Every structure is written in C-alpha cells, then in structure tokens.
C-alpha cells in the first residue's frame, strides 16, 4: 500500500512556523530609569533658575528726530517787529555771507524805517519766508541756510532722560518712515553726542519736533554709516526714528520691579545726602 503525500508542502509548513509561532524573537523595552527622569528634571530646573538669575533684558524707547547737516544750520531771524517789503531768496538759492536776503520795514508811531537782513554764512537756502508784505515779530524765522557740502546726521529728541544709558560710540539702529524698515531694513549709526542738559523744542531749529508733546527734551546726535538707503538718497529734514536703550536689568530685577525701584530710590537719596 502506497504512503499518502502530505497535505502541505514542507516549505510552506516551515515558513508558517517561522512567521507565526516559531522562532520569532520578541524584544521587550523596559521602563526609563527613575534616576534618569529625576536627573533630567533637576538639570532643566537649574537651567531655568540660572537664566532667571543671570539673564538680562534692556528696555528701549522709540524716539524721533530729523536728518540735519553735521556742520549745523544757520537760522536767519527777524531783528525787529515789522513787515517784509522785499525778498531776494527762495528755496534752493545760493548765498554768500553778507548778501541781503530780506528788507523789512519797521512800523513806528512817527515814521517808518527800513532794515536789511543779511546772510550770516555761505550756503544754500532751504527754507525762506515767501510772503512779502507779511508782518513778522522780532525773532521770527525768515530763512534757514545749510552749508554747500555736508554729511547728514540724525538729531534725535527724547522726552525721557536717556543720557545715563548712552555714550559716544554706542551703536543705534535707525529707520525712516519714508522707507519702511519691513522692506528696506534698519539703518545703522553711532552716537557722537548726547546732551547733558535739557533743551526746549523751540531750540531744535527750523525742523522742530512737532511729533513730541513735551517741551523739555534731550538731544542725541547719531552719525550715519551710509548717506543712502538701498540706493535711495537720504534727504535733509527727513524724519528718522530710533530705538534707544533706557535701562538694562537682570530678569529677576524686572520681576521684583517695585522692590528694585525702592532700593534705587534709597541709594539715590543716600548718594545725594553725602554730596
């Protein structure tokens, strides 16, 4: 009697044994060691504490101003109360020292007399009173004269006292509303002068600072690293803005602000009493 052939081939049986319940190896991963978890948590807390104790933050304020010549400007003011009867200049006129710019008529009770207003320096007129026959007070601005050649500087005015945190040589980032920094980026400069006394907005020249409400200001002069903004020339009188540092503290000092301010006040009082 012949032997029966197996229902499945030997190769199929062997493959099923290997893939199913045969020699498959199972790797079991044990739980992370408790000491590793604790060590990681301690290291994280230590890093946060160190950052809180030694990390610092500098408070900034936004200030505004104008671009002015490094050699300054010459203001031409009316020496009398009177009426403009003649003007020899307009915006862009080139003048020499001693040139007659305006003729004013002094109004008097008995008689009227004329007076000539002359240029105080060589240069170019960038702002001139255009209204002939206009009455002006003594001290009223009639014209502004800039040198023939100059470099532009940023004259910034702040209502806050920033002189204690700024010094000559400090780097400052500037931007111009006419050239949005989101598109043109920031303009770099270096502080060349910081006022140690307050000035009044009326002393800021013909460009003034109408953007500020306070009349008491501090002036910061910044030398520009470039006289153009991405191939666009910067112009005299252009409005400029900057972020100036006010105070730098450790993070924990900012968090404990009221106590820190009280301590600083006491130190100032002690220092003032010992002078």
pLDDT in tens, 147-174: 888 889 998 887 766 666 778 888 888 9
Bin 26: left if φ > 0, else alpha if -120 < ψ < 50, else beta: beta
Full DSSP string of the chain: -PPPPPSS-HHHHHHHHHHTTSS-----PPPPPHHHHHHHHHHHHHHHHHHHHH-EEEEEEEEEEEEEETT--EEEE-SSSEEEEEE---TT-EE-TT-EEEEEEE--SS--EEEEEE-SSSEEEEEE---TT-EE-TT-EEEEEE-SS--EEEEEEESS--GGG--TT-EEEEEBTTB-HHHH--EEEEEEEE-SS-EEGGGS-TT--TT---SEEEEEEEEES-SEETTEE--TT-EEEEEEEEEEEEHHHHHTHHHHHHHHHHHHHHHHHH-
Half-sphere exposure of residue 181, counting CA atoms within 13 Å on the CB side? 11
Query: In this structure, what token pair is assigned to residue 63?
Result: 């200030």
Name the one residue in this structure whose structure tokens are 């104790």: 53
pTM of the model: 0.60
CB 189 within 8 A of CB 125: no
Report the topology of domain 60-71+151-251.
Elongation Factor Tu (Ef-tu); domain 3 (2.40.30)
- The domain made up of 74-146 is a member of CATH 1.20.120.1200: no
Q: Quick one: pLDDT at residue 16?
A: 56
Give Cβ neighbours of residue 195 (< 8 Å, ≥ 6 apart): 163, 218, 219, 220
Q: Quick one: pLDDT at residue 228?
A: 73
Q: Quick one: pLDDT at residue 13?
A: 54
- Give the pLDDT mean for 234-257: 77
The percent of residues in the chain predicted with pLDDT above 90, rounded, is: 10
Of 76, 78, 142, 75, give the one whose Cα is nearest residue 107: 78
Of 23-27, 147-151, 245-249, give the range with the top mean pLDDT: 147-151
CB 104 within 8 A of CB 117: yes
Q: How far apart are CA 81 and CA 139, in angstroms?
A: 8
Condensed to tens digits (0 to 9), the pLDDT of residues 40-80 reads 888 888 888 777 777 776 777 788 888 888 888 888 999 98
Name the one residue in this structure whose structure tokens are 């020496």: 79
φ and ψ at 270, to 5 degrees?
A: -65, -40
Q: How far apart are CA 98 and CA 22, in angstroms?
A: 112
CA angle 129, 130, 131 (to 5 degrees): 100
Domain ranges within the chain, ordered by starting residue: 60-71+151-251, 74-146
Alpha carbon dihedral 35, 36, 42, 48, in 10-degree steps, equals -170
């Amino acid at each position: 009697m012949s032997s029966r052939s197996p229902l499945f081939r030997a190769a199929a049986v062997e493959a099923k044994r290997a893939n199913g319940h045969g020699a498959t190896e199972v790797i079991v991963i044990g739980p992370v060691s408790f000491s590793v978890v604790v060590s990681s948590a301690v290291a994280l807390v230590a890093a946060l504490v160190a950052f809180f104790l030694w990390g610092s933050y500098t408070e900034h304020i936004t200030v505004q101003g104008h671009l002015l010549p490094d050699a300054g400007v010459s203001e031409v003011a009316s020496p009398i109360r009177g009426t403009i009867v003649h003007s020899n200049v307009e915006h862009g006129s080139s003048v020499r020292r001693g040139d007659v710019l305006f003729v004013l008529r002094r109004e008097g009770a008995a008689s009227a007399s004329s007076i000539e207003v002359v240029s105080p320096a060589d240069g170019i007129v960038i702002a001139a009173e255009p209204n002939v026959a206009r009455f002006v007070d003594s001290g009223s601005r009639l014209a502004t004269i800039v040198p023939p050649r100059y470099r532009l500087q940023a004259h910034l005015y702040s209502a806050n006292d920033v002189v204690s945190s700024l010094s000559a040589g400090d780097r400052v980032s500037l931007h111009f509303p006419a050239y949005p920094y989101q598109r043109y980026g920031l303009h770099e400069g270096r502080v060349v002068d910081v006022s140690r006394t307050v000035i009044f907005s009326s002393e800021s020249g013909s460009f003034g600072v109408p953007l500020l409400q306070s009349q008491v200001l501090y002036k910061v002069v910044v030398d520009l690293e470039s006289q153009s903004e991405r191939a666009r020339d910067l112009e005299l009188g252009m409005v400029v803005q900057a972020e100036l540092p006010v105070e730098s503290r450790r993070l924990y000092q900012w968090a404990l602000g009221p106590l820190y301010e009280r301590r600083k006040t006491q130190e100032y009082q002690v220092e003032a009493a010992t002078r």
